[in-house]
Amino acid sequence: MNKKLRHTAALLLAACALGAAAQDYPNRPLRLVVPFAPGGGADIVARAVAAPLAKRLGQPVVVDNKPGGGATLGADLVAKAPADGYTLLYTTPGPQMANPYLMAKLPYDPAHDLVPVSEVAIVPNVLVVNKDLPVRNLKEFIAYAKAHPGKVNFASAGQGASSHLAGELFKQSAGVFIVHIPYRGTGPALTDLLSGQVQMAIDSIAVYKSHIDSGALRALGVATAKRSPLLPSVPAIAEALPGFEAAPVNYISVPAKTPQAVIDRLNREINAVLQSPELKEQLAAGGVLPQGSSQAEMAALIRSEAAKWKKVIEVSGAKLD
């Protein structure tokens, strides 16, 4: 057998082996890597999804927290894992949509080393201001910010965080000059927002809802494309700034070259899990909206979101070490 025939035979054998493995999938526990510390929003949602997903797959889905590097450590681990469908990444905008433009170098190729399986949820954000700021709606706030350039501060959970990029998108969309104040997490940012040290923020509805309900903060607009069922009386920012959307998408991805049959099985089961009324109620209580998709829809969303945040990051000059 000449070299070309041997190579062809090897490829056919490999394809047969992959096909057999896909038909038998899964036959051992799966690992769902969450690139953040336990107890955070992504971790809570990942665990809520993992339990019913395990029942549908007939195998345990073990959540494995790998925080660090703005989610790049966990993403790199999955990108370099065997492409067999047993190592999954619970993905937020960082690894493929924002970090490629925030960081000078990544340890993996965000466009080619990971492929999406399905969208899981969106985390609706809301623009809030301190109750003492003399504005009642978004139009008044934009007018106030334009009349007081550089005098309004907006808080974020840190440089490059979704709350930071959402604020930068708002600045660019509204044409206002407001000053970014980064904090080490949402908690410290919330403390200063409540005290009036900073005047505005755009972050998760779940973080702010109790303070909106108490009157300590005033909600001016949700950052989803349409009004959110979590705050139905609050208009969408897009009603004043057409096209505005800054709601972090959560999804599951796998290493590139994972067999399509395996991806298709995972997509079916994830989407079935997300239809559960119990899961929908559980996630909504935490300010999260389940949102399934096809693989192609999620791939298109990655491309469009990456293009949007690339522009925001370039204009703002935001960087991560």
Predicted local confidence at residue 282, as pLDDT: 93
Q: Is there a domain that residue 186 lies in?
A: yes
What is the residue-level pLDDT of the chain in tens, covering all 321 positions?
Answer: 555 555 554 445 544 555 555 789 999 999 999 999 898 889 999 999 999 999 999 999 999 999 999 899 999 999 999 999 999 999 999 999 999 999 999 999 999 999 999 999 999 999 999 999 999 999 999 999 999 999 999 999 999 999 999 999 999 999 999 999 999 888 999 999 999 999 999 999 988 999 999 999 999 999 999 999 999 999 999 999 999 999 999 999 999 999 999 999 999 999 999 999 999 999 998 889 999 999 999 999 999 999 999 999 999 999 987
Q: How far apart are CA 268 and CA 280, in angstroms?
A: 17
Q: Is there a domain that residue 175 lies in?
A: yes
Q: How far apart are CA 187 and CA 176, in angstroms?
A: 26
Q: Is there a domain that residue 20 lies in?
A: no
Q: Tell me: do 211 and 267 sit in the same domain.
A: no
Q: Tell me: do 253 and 235 sit in the same domain.
A: no
Predicted local confidence at residue 4, as pLDDT: 57
Q: Is there a domain that residue 14 lies in?
A: no
Q: Tell me: do 110 and 155 sit in the same domain.
A: no
Boundary residue ending a domain (208, 239, 270): 239
Total number of domains in the chain: 2
Q: Tell me: do 261 and 175 sit in the same domain.
A: no
CA 223 to chain centroid:
14
Q: Is there a domain that residue 11 lies in?
A: no
Q: Is there a domain that residue 293 lies in?
A: yes
Boundary residue ending a domain (194, 217, 239): 239
Q: Tell me: do 220 and 272 sit in the same domain.
A: no
Residue 262 makes CB contacts below 8 A (sequence gap 6+) with 22, 25, 84, 85, 254
Boundary residue ending a domain (239, 262, 286): 239
Q: Tell me: do 114 and 74 sit in the same domain.
A: yes
Q: Is there a domain that residue 109 lies in?
A: yes
Q: Tell me: do 109 and 148 sit in the same domain.
A: no
Residue 261 makes CB contacts below 8 A (sequence gap 6+) with 19, 22, 23, 25
Residue 141 makes CB contacts below 8 A (sequence gap 6+) with 127, 129, 133, 135, 200, 220
Q: Tell me: do 129 and 233 sit in the same domain.
A: yes
**Are 176 and 103 in contact, with CB atoms under 8 Å apart?**
no
Structural domain including 46 reads: 28-122+248-316
By DSSP bridging, strand 114-122 and strand 289-290 are antiparallel
Q: Tell me: do 308 and 295 sit in the same domain.
A: yes
Q: Tell me: do 111 and 258 sit in the same domain.
A: yes
Q: Is there a domain that residue 282 lies in?
A: yes
Predicted local confidence at residue 6, as pLDDT: 57
Q: Tell me: do 140 and 35 sit in the same domain.
A: no
